[in-house]
Structure 1
Amino acid sequence: MPAIYKDAHRKINERVSDLLSRMTPEEKFAQMHAYWLILQSDGNHRERTDLSDEFSGVTEQAALTERLKLGIGQITRPLGTHIVEAKEGVRAANRLQKTLVEETRLGIPALFHEECLVGLLCKDATLFPSSLNYGSTWDLDLVERAAAAIGEEARSTGCHQGLAPVLDVSRDVRWGRTEETFGEDPWLVGMMATHYVNGLQGKKRDLLATLKHYVGHSFSEGARNHAPVHLGFCELNDIFLLPFEMAVKLANAGSVMPAYHDIDNQPGHSDEFLMTTVLREQWGFDGLIVADYGGVSLLHQHHGISHDAAESAALAFNAGLDVELPKDDCARHLAQAVERGLITMEKIDEIVSRVLKEKFRLGLFEQPYRDENGVVLQTESTRKIARDVATRSMTMLENNGVLPLHGKPRVAVIGPTADDPLALLSGYSFPVHLIISDMLEQTSQVTTPLQALREQLGGDNVHYSKGCHIIEKRMAGAPVFPGDSGGKPMQSSPVSHDISLIPDAVKTAEQSDVVVLCVGDLSGLFQSGTVGEGSDTDSLALPGVQQQLLDQLIATGKPVVVVMTGGRPYNLGGQEDNVAALLMAWAPGQEGGYAIADVLTGRAEPGGRLVVSIPKSAGAVPYYYNHKLKSGGTPFAFHFGSRYPFGFGKTWTEFDYSPLQIESDSVPSDSGVVTVSVIVRNSGTVAGSEVVQLYVHDKVASMVRPVQELKAFQRVHLEPGASARLTFSIPTDMLNFTRRNGERVVEPGEFEIRVGASSADIRSAGVVRVTGETRVITGKWRMVSHCEVED
């Protein structure tokens, strides 16, 4: 008779209990961590070693083959760790799984995870646009379709868990990981994340999405990677926890990853209140909490709240962690932690039960292998979705009438990002993430703006000059923790200051009718680029000599269309009024060149709207539209504010708004719904779309509230002269905020409802009174507004 845990017809809880009872302590510990391996189909696997070992303080370990006999919880990025053909990678992963399933005492399969933020992190997978592009579409269904497509590619390679999406709410665009965010509004981030999770996981939740970085990672001191976060719980809950709560309650997210930083001196990887009290007990989260890479070891290596790896492991697992990633730097000391009384076997059993439960639920015991011939990457439909995201995210900030380009003008395409495939990709794209290799050969599926414009305008009409470099030679090896606290000495910036290419670019411009100048940054980890994880900045000036290039091109008198790509916005040194047009493309992925060319030539409209405000200068940051009234100082500082605010974006036409109509000027705080309508008319001569945005301002509250907050939006496409009535319904639950006792409440009072084309372009407003008693929000609450469109 087979063991209960091997019987697929038994209940999962019975299988977990049976298997747990058979496991030795060492076999249990093994389920609580991962191995980061370079897998081989012949079974000759080896451990990955690089700077991350120094980062986490790892030392030599016992032979891998001996440790694998105990089983393993997860395998870190089997296809995303090195350059390997997907089919061969699946074959190698199957070989490892065979060892675990057929050659260990209990036969417990491993769970494989990969990065999935901007596409599966795997050779030849589709390279999707960045999260800022996702957000800029303001299209929840499209984001869900993109995530579903990424999920299908991941499943086909045997991936069980994707380390995405990122729910950090942008606060300071100097932060290198701004490119990974959906933007600066917490509710919009929550909606985007909810749809992303729904798409990636599917209805069966047979691929776990991972919400990260829990929580507040994006509001770090000075916008520096891993730096401390200074927040009270009220703001933490209203701004940074809200998206996580939405994705847990609305999308049943399967996993959560804590962040590296500390909040008020409490590191995220040892925060029992956030991981257990809030996440599991208050929200009902039932998935796995997995460490950010090396995050457990940082408790003693960097934060200094423990003496050694055993104590760090005990702190993290007692606080609520389930699995240490990417290796066993601290978990391999769990036996010592138990012996020292730092953690109990009862706690170990609780954690391992959750890990086993998820493996049974995912069906790993019944289907541990993936068909190596079933890998599906780069399908036509997936590429189309990637192109749709890129195109719909194109955000036009300036246009004096030069766009769209008509006919076959002589176009000078200039700039360091015009023909660099890597410039269209963000940090968690496969070629950028493995910048340690010469990855240009891995970018053949990327179409650059130069290539696309030549296709559309003809090669004879397009002339190219690079103009300058951003970084002349892409290299890895930047210190992971440089600084003045015992780390490595600071290295010099790799950014180029060579101006020798500018004269040739000026000559090319002078022989053209219009200049398309492609500027921006290059994503790269830990200062191997100008943006990305660990690549923060102290300035919003264009990196290197790009500003000098722009200045000299404008001086030619030719109309200059600036196309900006990258992971954060930059200023143009005061030339915003002098450029013919400015198109913000972010990091639009492998189809980004086509998306840029389609908008420049009028084949597509610039439908994107900003999801991060573009501050006037670095002196204005942190800046975000939903600030408090006193954020700008008293009087408001001249440098405070944003030229291009949240929600802003121009298109080919204009729209008029009718006065706002309010269905009822008072609604009850208990289960009430604020219903308002507005008529929007295309008053221009061409068809186009408008993203109608609804903001709320709480006029008087018991706590200080932001000047306004986004609560609803709706895109509407209209032919010239056509109009549509949009009716928004906002549940009163969404008017809540957090009081000092940690409770979410809806208070009675007056709320101003504002409708417009951006946070700074309000077209109509009215006041609604919420009546009744102050209501405490508990459990599940109404987090989503709705809009009906009537032509």
Structure 2
Amino acid sequence: MKKFSIYYLVILIFFCACNNQSRKSEYPYRNAQLPVSQRVADLLSRMTLNEKIRQLDMWSGGEVANIVNHDTNSFSAEKVAEVIDSTGIGSIHDFYPMSASEVNKIQRYALTHTRLGIPVLFIEEGLHGYNGAGATYFPVPLELASAWDTSLVHHVGRVIGTEARAHGIEMILGPVLGLARDPRWGRVEETYGEDPYLDACNGVAMVKGLQGDSLQDDNAVIAEPKHFAIHSIPEAGSNTSPVSIGEREARSAFLYPFEEAVRVGGAMGIMAAYSEDDGIPCVDNHWLLTEVLRKEWGFKGFVLSDLGAIRMSLEDHHVAADTSDALAQTIKAGLDMQFYDFKHPTFERAIKKALNEHLLSEKDLDRAVGDVLRVKFILGLFDHPYIDTSLVSKVFHTPQSQQLALKAAQEGIILLKNDHGLLPIKKTIRSVAVIGPLATSTYLGDYSADATGISILDGLKERAGKMLKINYAQGYGPDSLSEAAQSVLISKAVGISNRCDISIVVLGESERMDGEGKDRAHLDLDSRQK
């Protein structure tokens, strides 16, 4: 009798699960023939408060999978079940799957085990190449802009979008559309330069390249211009410092590239900066996120905070009384999703507290949730949630993409001077001295994961073959090296240079001096390079 009872219980559970899936399929939001606005409204009307709140939150890859170094090593059914549960989640970042199969497994769980079957949005970095292992990397955006070729930038965007979506990634955090007006700022290399028009043209090209012909295609991703806005001229060039400019300058210069990216490019994502403009944090700026972005420009996507930006309004800008107040202010201003700001239980409790204390209205909450859901519908995640796992072998790091990367590098090179016609190197030259440790650097720029390129020294050796003798000297060492040891390196470099027909001295900023969080107080060369 006990055996029969267990048998009937299993049958009952199976029947209930099937019945639940059947009911979900009948809901209007499941009908692909209905307008997206109608589907969003129907789904919102069926959601519990917990389900809504979790759509505004982001989880890290390590919370749902086993991560080794940078990329997902294996899928974890236990972690996925614990995190997604029956309620669902908004997005996952820092996941970087080796193939789309891991993404498909998570989507399958979200669709079949949660009450309403809301898919997950996968978001990753891709500033100048999808940031997963083995991807095709292109020159940093500053060099791409130096090519003065928006068609080239568009093709680069197509490759990034194609390689990302083949892995199941649906949104890329880029491009950076700040104007590079202060060279002390460490993130200048991430921008398309200082000119608003050129910046806007390249921004539109990249957005259109990433988003492709249709966001439901398996080679297109959401583009998310950042950092909105006026983030690139912080006081003293320090990344998180305040900005103070008037509306006229903001609109004519710093907002213009974003406006074009939204109006012309059709960008469906925006990242709000963690800086403040005229005393108002960007994540709390209603004029910026609602009046300008949505009402003036007609933005239809969703706004994500920069990492920790909402928390900074509480802990750094000191404009909020507590976590509930910080979240209420940012959602009312027009922001939609947090980026690792607060731990998930804290985030959920704070939103509920904000609602209970009337700091936040249910209408404001629904607007934010609706923005996130709209993007998921537009991406086709409700109707076509799974990615063909064979795509990676067909489109990832192809010879054609590598050739495009080479072309972009070649077109972006700038020759500032060529005194006495030194270049190209004449056939009478037989020996070349290459000086400086940067000649051996394979660093590809910030946001390039663990990828490496070909160093200047190796490139010269490969190109020269047996025609030229390439001699290398380090020239200087790290700061920890003694003065006597530094003198030995300099003497060796001078000796090699004197024995060769010409010398190529490689100078510039090392990896430790350039990139996010590596702002500078001056523009001098490293003292050891002088």
User: Which runs of 5 or more structure 2 residues have no equivalent in the other structure?
Assistant: 1-22, 67-73
Equivalent position to 2:375, from 338, 358, 362: 358
Change (3 A) 1:243 1:25: same
Match of 1:216, SS state, is: coil
The aligned amino acid for 1:339 is: N
Question: For residues 472 and 456 of structure 1, what CA distance do their matches in structure 2 show?
Answer: 34
Match of 2:144, SS state, is: helix
Equivalent position to 1:9, from 27, 33, 36: 33
Q: Does 1:156 align with 2:166?
A: yes
1:337 alignment partner in structure 2? 354
Match of 1:289, SS state, is: strand
The aligned amino acid for 2:523 is: L
1:533 alignment partner in structure 2? 516
1:131 alignment partner in structure 2? 141
The aligned amino acid for 1:314 is: A
TM-score by length of 1: 0.59
Match of 2:40, SS state, is: helix
Q: Is the 8 A contact 1:34 1:327 kept in 2?
A: no
Q: Is the 8 A contact 1:43 1:95 kept in 2?
A: no
1:716 alignment partner in structure 2? none
2:388 alignment partner in structure 1? 371
Match of 1:212, SS state, is: coil
Change (3 A) 1:471 1:73: farther
Q: Is the 8 A contact 1:143 1:195 kept in 2?
A: yes
Q: Does 1:188 align with 2:198?
A: yes
1:462 alignment partner in structure 2? 470
2:434 alignment partner in structure 1? 413
Change (3 A) 1:232 1:387: same
How far apart are 1:419 and its partner, in Å? 1.3
For residues 577-632 of structure 1, the C-alpha deviation after alignment (integer angstroms, 9 at most, x for no partner) is: xxxxxxxxxxxxxxxxxxxxxxxxxxxxxxxxxxxxxxxxxxxxxxxxxxxxxxxx
How far apart are 1:456 and its partner, in Å? 1.3
Moved more, 331-340 or 302-311: 331-340
Equivalent position to 1:257, from 251, 262, 271: 271
Change (3 A) 1:498 1:92: farther
1:314 alignment partner in structure 2? 328
The aligned amino acid for 1:171 is: R
Equivalent position to 2:457, from 450, 470, 475: 450
Match of 1:429, SS state, is: coil
Q: Is the 8 A contact 1:190 1:243 kept in 2?
A: yes
1:28 alignment partner in structure 2? 52
Q: Does 1:395 align with 2:435?
A: no
2:186 alignment partner in structure 1? 176
Change (3 A) 1:202 1:352: same
CA RMSD of aligned residues (A): 2.1
The aligned amino acid for 1:319 is: A
For residues 355-393 of structure 1, the C-alpha deviation after alignment (integer angstroms, 9 at most, x for no partner) is: 111111111012222233321321111111111111111
Match of 1:545, SS state, is: helix
Question: For residues 69 and 348 of structure 1, what CA distance do their matches in structure 2 show?
Answer: 21
1:106 alignment partner in structure 2? 116
Q: Is the 8 A contact 1:289 1:321 kept in 2?
A: yes
How far apart are 1:204 and its partner, in Å? 1.3
The aligned amino acid for 2:41 is: S
1:502 alignment partner in structure 2? 490
Q: Where do 1:502-651 residues align within 5 Å? A: 502-523=490-511, 529-547=512-530
How far apart are 1:544 and its partner, in Å? 4.5
Question: For residues 383 and 471 of structure 1, what CA distance do their matches in structure 2 show?
Answer: 36
Q: Is the 8 A contact 2:301 2:374 kept in 1?
A: no
1:73 alignment partner in structure 2? 90
Change (3 A) 1:544 1:368: farther
How far apart are 1:457 and its partner, in Å? 0.9
Q: Is the 8 A contact 2:268 2:375 kept in 1?
A: no
Question: For residues 108 and 448 of structure 1, what CA distance do their matches in structure 2 show?
Answer: 46
The aligned amino acid for 1:344 is: S
The aligned amino acid for 1:532 is: G
How far apart are 1:7 and its partner, in Å? 2.4
2:43 alignment partner in structure 1? 19
How far apart are 1:300 and its partner, in Å? 0.5
Q: Is the 8 A contact 2:311 2:342 kept in 1?
A: no
The aligned amino acid for 2:55 is: Q
Match of 1:515, SS state, is: strand
How far apart are 1:176 and its partner, in Å? 0.4
Question: For residues 49 and 398 of structure 2, what CA distance do their matches in structure 1 show?
Answer: 46
- Specify which structure has the higher proportion of strand: 1
**More contact order relative to length (CA 8 Å, sep ≥ 6):** 2
2:20 alignment partner in structure 1? none
Question: For residues 87 and 239 of structure 2, what CA distance do their matches in structure 1 show?
Answer: 36
Question: For residues 514 and 108 of structure 2, what CA distance do their matches in structure 1 show?
Answer: 40
- Specify which structure has the higher proportion of helix: 2
Change (3 A) 1:68 1:534: farther
Question: For residues 501 and 21 of structure 1, what CA distance do their matches in structure 2 show?
Answer: 71
For residues 26-58 of structure 1, the C-alpha deviation after alignment (integer angstroms, 9 at most, x for no partner) is: 000011111112224342576xxxxxxxxxxxx
